Amino acid sequence: MRTITILSAVVMMASACNQPADTTENTETAELIAMSYYGDTITTDGAVAPAEFLAQVAGKDSVAMKLETKINETCKMKGCWMTVDLGNGEEMRVKFKDYGFFVPKEGANGKVAVMEGYAFTDTISVDHLRHLAEDAGKTPEEIAAISEPEIGLNFEATGVIIKD
CATH number of domain containing 146: 2.40.50
Q: What is the mean pLDDT of the chain?
A: 83
Radius of gyration of the CA atoms of the chain, in A: 24
Q: In sequence order, what E strands does the chain have?
A: 35-39, 62-74, 81-85, 91-96, 112-124, 150-163
* Domain assignment of residue 66, given as a range: 35-163
Low-confidence ranges of the chain (pLDDT < 70): 1-33
The pLDDT value recorded for residue 163 is 95
The pLDDT value recorded for residue 16 is 38
* Whole-structure pTM value: 0.74
User: What is the total count of domains within the chain?
Assistant: 1
Does residue 89 lie in a domain region? yes
Does residue 26 lie in a domain region? no
Does residue 11 lie in a domain region? no
Does residue 99 lie in a domain region? yes
The pLDDT value recorded for residue 137 is 87
Does residue 156 lie in a domain region? yes
Share of the chain above pLDDT 70, in %: 80
